[in-house]
């Protein structure tokens, strides 16, 4: 069941953060490991990997940038 969000009394920034949080893609631990291993393998650029996986290039892929 979807949560109803009340817009009254909330700032626009808070509303945008709530929407992003609700629509964020959830990844299983196996998916995360696969993505990191793909980055470490080096067959594709990190930017290309992020585009393919629709992920922001930060956080779990930060270790791959230091190569």
In a domain, 59, yes or no: yes
d(CA 34, CA 39) in angstroms, rounded, equals: 9
In a domain, 19, yes or no: no
Closest C-alpha among 67, 9, 11 to residue 41? 67
In a domain, 2, yes or no: no
Token pair in block for residue 57: 């290039």
In a domain, 38, yes or no: yes
Do 48 and 38 touch, CB atoms closer than 8 A?
no
pLDDT tens digits for the chain (67 residues)?
Answer: 555 656 667 888 888 888 877 877 788 899 889 888 988 998 888 888 888 887 776 655 455 444 4
In a domain, 23, yes or no: no
The total number of structural domains in the chain stands at 1
Token pair in block for residue 29: 């631990």
Helices (H) and strands (E) in the chain — how many of each? 3, 0
Residue tagged 């631990």 (tokens): 29
Q: What is the pTM of this model?
A: 0.49
In a domain, 5, yes or no: no
Please give the residue range of the domain that contains residue 58: 28-67
């Amino acid at each position: 069941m979807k949560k109803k969000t009340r817009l009254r009394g909330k700032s626009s920034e808070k509303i945008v953060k709530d929407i992003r949080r609700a629509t964020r893609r959830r990844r299983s631990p196996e998916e995360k490991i696969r993505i990191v291993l793909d980055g470490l393998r080096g067959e594709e650029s990190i930017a290309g990997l992020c585009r393919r996986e629709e992920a922001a290039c930060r956080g779990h892929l930060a270790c791959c940038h230091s190569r």
